[in-house]
Chain A
Amino acid sequence: MKRLMLSLLLLAVAAPVLFAQQTLNVYTIMPEKYATKVFAAFTADTGIKVNFIRLSSGEALARIVAEKKNPQVDALWGGPADTYEAGILEGVFEQYKPREADAIPAKFRSAQNYWIGIGVIPLCFMSNAKFLKDKGLQPPTSWNDLLHPAYKGALQMADARTSGTATERIYTLVKIFGENEAFAYQKKLHQNIQLYTKSGAGGAMPIATGQAASGVFYIVDALDIQQQGYDVVISYPKEGVTYGVEAAGILKGARNLELAKKLMDWASSKRLGDVMMAEKINYIPTRPDVKVSNPALDMTQVKLIDTDIAWKGKNREAFVERFVNEVIQQ
């Protein structure tokens, strides 16, 4: 018994083995199935291996902040830029200007070079085609269409406390209606809500399978469902939508700083956009010189509302508070 107890104690305090290999360690907010393909291409191009684990944006940020004194990874990949802005305030990111950063429009990268944009994703509506047909409805083309009584208890969209998709939705509404009107609208919309989901894409599968009728998503998640073969309809509101900028950045105290810089250099090149197009990863590339082959990503017919990321970061918490106190709690 003594010996067993002793080994138990030894295991308890055993010093962890240090990272020794020349691999890059990354937290990715980008879905795993995309990250696998993107990093495979990066490894093929540079010979650098990538260890990664997928986390939601909130979890990723919480961990990075908690691990501040002892970073477990070198870089954060994907996820909305306002997550990065929040991280900057916590002092967890390293400044680095990638080689081809200037080829990316300034609105798609950090002014202080903490992060660069790797893709743009506007919001859209996604609806179950059968539901629309059964109710004799057209796909929604205005935010006010979602208030139609036919949708009562049939909408699923993300909860602002956990999902970047949801905060993006609020930014759009505030930009269109003004802040107070935006929340008044959401209170009305609440009557039709079946469920607020934890993740931005959480409502997509229920809509695909007919549990819910419609919802607001980032285009990347909506297209993914459609590509899997589900009978869904994607539409855009005429009032317009804001878009999220997917970013990437290096963590302060990264153990493989040089490798992380190479990843940022690669991400700022035209190569990343080409890989995403080839692999059907539905982000709109941040480099204007990438040729967009997928017609679904053709944004010429969509009214895109520009938003300042610093404004998003600054207002996020207040908007979420209002969302919890006024919309959810009513």
Chain B
Amino acid sequence: MTTPALELQHVAKVFRKDRDIVRAVDDVTLVVEKGEFITFLGPSGCGKTTTLRMIAGFELPTEGRILIGGRDMTNIPANKRGIGFVFQNYALFPHMSVFHNVAYGLKSRGEDPGRIREKVGNALELVGLAQAVHRYPNQLSGGEQQRVALARVLALEPSLLLMDEPLSNLDAKLRLHMRTEIRRLQKRLGITCIYVTHDQAEALTMADRIMVMQKGKVEQIGTPQEIYNHPRTLFVADFIGQANAIRLRTSGYADGKAWAKVPGGWQLAARTSGGTILEKGTEAALVIRPERIRLEADAQAAGTLAATVAAATFVGSHVEYELDLGEGNTLKATVPYDPNARLHQEGARVGVRIDQESALFIPIEAKQG
């Protein structure tokens, strides 16, 4: 087994704010293999950036250990960790030209001028900005600045590349383009990469694995598919993609499946999150992805729940419905748009067919972890 590129062992960061003790990061443990692309995903203030900054050495952890390439770096200052960091605001030195920005790290290392020129050239080539070498940051567009920031880091061939929401200041189109470009570069260079984002689409499309965080704690670590298909907690289910959650009490359990009576009167069986055994009468949320719901014009069709269409929104490739199940339960459904079929109008009675294979019971307590 090779040495992991990065290991976090029970890392915590505790702040003292006024009289309160704030655990900004709480007991984070993670092993990252070489060449992996990991994203930290979570809402703002969840501790993902703080964790990243601790890996970089900008903050020192209060508890736990950080190992980079097998070496304990917990107390090593940032400049001795050999890590590349790309900032949300790029942090280009405004008083230096593109060349000097990119050459900065190489100079710190004391490389000879010839080598520096060569490496700067290569790095700028890599990000497609070779022509901008003598310009200053304020003469570049946002996307160009982002590439310079990337080149500045890549020139050092870091063992570990950390990125803190690097695309959040770019426009949507450029963001999509940069996603693939970053991923392409990362694969080509084989760099281990940790990428912080609050944008789940970014996380899902780019990452090998995603670490979802909330309130300083790790909610779940897994591949995008795992996270999407098998969310461990209601939070993850809700944060990644969209999810309908119907609160229920289970009425039975067997073989990794639980069942419960859903509004409309019949029993619905579905997997339980992580195969957890749910005793009868457990309070749980039945989680259903909106895109795993189909609607039928006949509200009485077998195996469907009867519902009233509360709202229908056409968004191009698909139609978003809001459905009223009665008893205060609502569902969202995303249905592919079929130009040949008519939309269900507001107020219409429809039959809701749920893909039971993808539905999931998550016990309510699990939310507390």
A and B touch in the complex (CB under 8 A): no
> Which positions in A face B, CB cutoff 8 Å?
none
